[in-house]
Amino acid sequence: MKKASFYLAVYFIHIMMAHGAVGWQLPAAAPEITGDGSAAAAVRLLRDGCPAAAVDLARPLAEEGDADAWFLLAYAMEAREPAKLSRAQAMDHHYRKAAEAGHPEAGFRRMLIPLTSGGETQRSDGRAALEGAAEKDPRAARILGEAWLRGL
């Protein structure tokens, strides 16, 4: 856990510097492109403050199996877009699809969902899953850091 603690400290410093320690919410940054870049235009739209246009562009790509597009849909839903299903169910669906398509961070985001919704048992299970993953992968440590910073 020492390695994960190091990553959490580095991430905490980054968050404090980037966000002034006030007014931020998960997720902290727009998604990165991990694959061949087919969702790059949608990510640019999202970063430029056009989430509806980004979602419209990403949806057909996601339906074709693009991992980055699935991740962008989940991210947009998590950050801005109301869901017809419960927010947690919808995010879980999109992040699961992104993970199945090979997006590296999507699985960690799915672990975060129980921390932000549900009862204490679900939060405890989500926290334990993230802590276990954080010992092996700095990306999970980053997600766990986000959760700790929010007091989850």
Domain-by-domain residue ranges, the chain? Answer: 2-149
| Mean pLDDT across 34-45 | 76
Residue appearing with tokens 């509806």: 52
> Residues of the chain with pLDDT > 70: what percent?
65
Beta carbons of 43 and 31 less than 8 angstroms apart: yes
| Mean pLDDT across 41-58 | 87
| Mean pLDDT across 112-140 | 81
CA atoms of 103 and 90, how far apart (whole Å): 17
- How many C-beta neighbours within 10 Å does residue 117 have? 15
Instruction: Write the CB contacts of 120 (distance below 8 Å, at least 6 apart in sequence).
Output: none
Local confidence band at 77 (pLDDT 50, 70, 90 cut-offs): confident
| CATH number for the domain running over 2-149 | 1.25.40
Per-residue model confidence (pLDDT) at position 49: 84
Residue 105: pLDDT over 60: yes
Local confidence band at 15 (pLDDT 50, 70, 90 cut-offs): very low
| Mean pLDDT across 109-138 | 81
CA atoms of 40 and 66, how far apart (whole Å): 11
Q: Mean pLDDT across the chain, nearest whole number?
A: 72
CA atoms of 106 and 92, how far apart (whole Å): 9
Query: Considering only CA atoms, which of 67, 76, 78 is closest in space to residue 105?
Result: 67
User: pTM for the complete prediction?
Assistant: 0.51
Q: Higher-confidence residue: 30 or 129?
A: 129
Per-residue model confidence (pLDDT) at position 142: 83
Local confidence band at 86 (pLDDT 50, 70, 90 cut-offs): low
Residue 10: pLDDT over 70: no
